[in-house]
């Protein structure tokens, strides 16, 4: 039996999404910038997809731009805002995804201030407000749902604080789009980012919501596609796939969130019963406060962490030791290292999708129990 529980890294493509995409590889292969019939058909597919996405996120189609994914969307928003609005101060946290963190670290200016986090990885809104009071007109970049520990930010609260101090608010919503009903009229954000492969769409396709009052400076220059924000011939099939995947996610959200929450709840219960002393990273063990697709556990077997992941893999269970990007490097997760400073940790992240079953959970928990027994036997 093979079990895939690494859906925060990527999700399997929904077959209905593939069906929607295929005609744009076969017959409707035109370039959306061409004015002939082939081109017009491709243009129509792109614009229909934009309308679909905008309707689901409750915003105007003119606020939606298609990109190559989450990383590009984060870069366009952060670097674009800084350049266009002459931002002198940026506020963020050290547990953002590398798409944000490494972008900020690469900046020579402006100054970046990282908010303090409590032991569970939560920010202090009073500190955010104090910093903005001293530095109005800042750029604040805070992710909505953390991909490693599942913490969820109160977007409305953060957004209204930013608004009060005339600041720009970018949120990496890669892990929450398609999982929660994001209403961009309600949430006071100037930029939000999505990535299709996190909600059963194709890899290499993303969406960027921009609503900052005016055109922002692009990162790259070219033929003017996506109203100059992201020039380059559009990935038509990918865009169609993204819209279809989001449509399915929105339509089935209640059903799938219930199903996935049930699996996560079962895993928490079964892990507690099977592995005494098990702890959860961030707030991921709390069903009310965390992303229902992510469960990050912290185990006592600290000196054998790579062995545990390796053995889970041998048992055909695909999970992550942190983020997908960090797992290959064996450097450990910057998020876990940040919230458990100095402490040795063994983290396993399980992340679920609509394709998982209770059997997957049973299999993963019993395999983990067996592996931990072997690891502690080896240690003695
Ligand atoms: N932001 C978050 C929170 C993510 O989880 C990811 C992907 O792991 C990204 C950004 C990057 O998205 P992409 O893989 O589409 O570039």
Residue closest via CA to ligand 1's atom 7 equals 9
Residues 170 and 85: their CA atoms lie apart, in Å, by: 13
Mean pLDDT over 104-114 rounds to 91
Mean pLDDT over 354-380 rounds to 86
What does the pLDDT read at residue 210?
A: 98
Opening angle at CA 121, ends 363 and 161, nearest 5: 130
Residue closest via CA to ligand 1's atom 8 equals 9
Residue 119: what are its φ and ψ, rounded to 5°?
-65, -15
Strand intervals (E) in the chain: 3-4, 64-67, 89-92, 111-114, 139-141, 168-172, 191-195, 206-210, 279-280, 294-299, 317-318, 346-351
Mean pLDDT over 261-270 rounds to 98
* Top mutation candidate among 175, 196, 197 for ligand 1, by most atoms within 8 Å of CB: 175
Q: Which atom of ligand 1 is nearest to the CA of 73?
A: 16
Structural domains of the chain, with CATH: 3-11+253-375 (3.90.1150.10), 15-251 (3.40.640.10)
364-373: b (≥16 Cβ within 10 Å) or e:
bbebbeebbe
Opening angle at CA 109, ends 107 and 114, nearest 5: 75
CA of 103 to the centre of ligand 1 (A): 13
CA of 72 to the centre of ligand 1 (A): 9
CA of 241 to the centre of ligand 1 (A): 17
- Per-residue confidence at 195, pLDDT binned at 50, 70, 90? very high
CA of 273 to the centre of ligand 1 (A): 33
CA of 366 to the centre of ligand 1 (A): 30
Q: Is 378 a residue whose pLDDT tops 70? A: no
Residue closest via CA to ligand 1's atom 4 equals 174
Q: Which atom of ligand 1 is nearest to the CA of 324?
A: 8
Q: Is 327 a residue whose pLDDT tops 50? A: no
- Per-residue confidence at 307, pLDDT binned at 50, 70, 90? confident
CA of 99 to the centre of ligand 1 (A): 7
Q: Which atom of ligand 1 is nearest to the CA of 69?
A: 15
- Per-residue confidence at 277, pLDDT binned at 50, 70, 90? confident
Residues 198 and 326: their CA atoms lie apart, in Å, by: 17
* Top mutation candidate among 67, 70, 155 for ligand 1, by most atoms within 8 Å of CB: 70
Residue closest via CA to ligand 1's atom 14 equals 70
- Per-residue confidence at 322, pLDDT binned at 50, 70, 90? low
Ligand 1, pocket residues at CB < 6 Å:
69-71, 97, 99, 143, 147, 172, 174-175, 195, 206, 324
Rounded to the nearest integer, the mean pLDDT of the chain is 93
CA of 274 to the centre of ligand 1 (A): 32
159-194 pLDDT, tens digit per residue, is 999 999 999 999 999 999 999 999 999 989 999 999
Residue closest via CA to ligand 1's atom 13 equals 70
Q: Which atom of ligand 1 is nearest to the CA of 195?
A: 15
Paired residues of 91 in beta bridges: 113, 140
What does the pLDDT read at residue 330?
A: 52
Residue closest via CA to ligand 1's atom 9 equals 70
Q: Which atom of ligand 1 is nearest to the CA of 325?
A: 8
Q: Is 323 a residue whose pLDDT tops 70? A: no
Active site residues: 325
- Give residues with Cβ within 8 angstroms of 326, minimum separation 6: 332, 333, 334
What does the pLDDT read at residue 304?
A: 65
What does the pLDDT read at residue 301?
A: 56
Residue closest via CA to ligand 1's atom 12 equals 70
For residue 54, the Cα-to-chain-centroid distance in whole angstroms is 19
């Amino acid at each position: 039996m093979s079990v895939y529980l690494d859906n925060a890294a990527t999700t399997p493509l929904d077959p209905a999404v593939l069906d929607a995409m295929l005609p744009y590889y076969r017959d409707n292969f035109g370039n959306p910038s061409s004015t002939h019939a082939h081109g017009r058909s491709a243009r129509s597919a792109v614009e229909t997809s934009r309308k679909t996405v905008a309707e689901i996120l409750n915003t105007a189609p003119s606020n939606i731009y298609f990109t190559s994914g989450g990383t590009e969307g984060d870069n366009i928003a952060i670097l674009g805002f800084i350049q266009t609005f002459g931002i002198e101060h940026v506020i963020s946290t050290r547990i953002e995804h590398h798409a944000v963190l490494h972008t900020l670290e690469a900046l020579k200016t402006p100054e970046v201030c990282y908010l303090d986090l409590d032991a569970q990885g939560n920010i202090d809104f009073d500190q955010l407000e104090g910093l903005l009071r001293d530095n109005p007109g800042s750029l604040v970049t805070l992710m909505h749902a953390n991909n490693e520990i599942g913490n969820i930010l109160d977007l409305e609260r953060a957004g209204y604080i930013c608004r009060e101090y005339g600041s720009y608010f970018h949120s990496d919503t890669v892990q929450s789009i398609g999982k929660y009903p994001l209403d961009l009229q309600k949430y006071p954000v100037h930029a939000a980012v999505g990535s299709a492969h996190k909600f059963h769409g194709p890899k290499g396709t993303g969406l960027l919501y921009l609503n900052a009052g005016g055109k922002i400076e692009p990162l790259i220059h070219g033929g003017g596609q996506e109203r100059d924000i992201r020039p380059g011939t559009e990935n038509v099939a990918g865009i169609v796939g993204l819209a279809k995947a989001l449509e399915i996610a929105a339509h089935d959200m209640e059903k799938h969130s219930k199903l996935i929450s049930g699996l996560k709840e079962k895993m928490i219960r079964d892990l507690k019963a099977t592995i005494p002393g098990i702890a959860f990273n961030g707030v991921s063990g709390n069903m009310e406060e965390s992303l229902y697709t992510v469960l990050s556990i912290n185990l006592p077997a600290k000196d054998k962490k790579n062995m545990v992941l390796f053995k889970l893999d041998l048992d055909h269970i695909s999970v992550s030791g942190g983020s997908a990007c960090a797992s290959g490097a064996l450097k450990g997760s910057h998020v876990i290292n940040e919230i458990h400073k100095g402490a040795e940790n063994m983290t396993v992240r399980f992340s679920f999708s609509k394709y998982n079953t209770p059997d997957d959970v049973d299999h993963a928990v019993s395999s983990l129990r067996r592996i931990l027994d072997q690891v502690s036997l080896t240690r003695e």
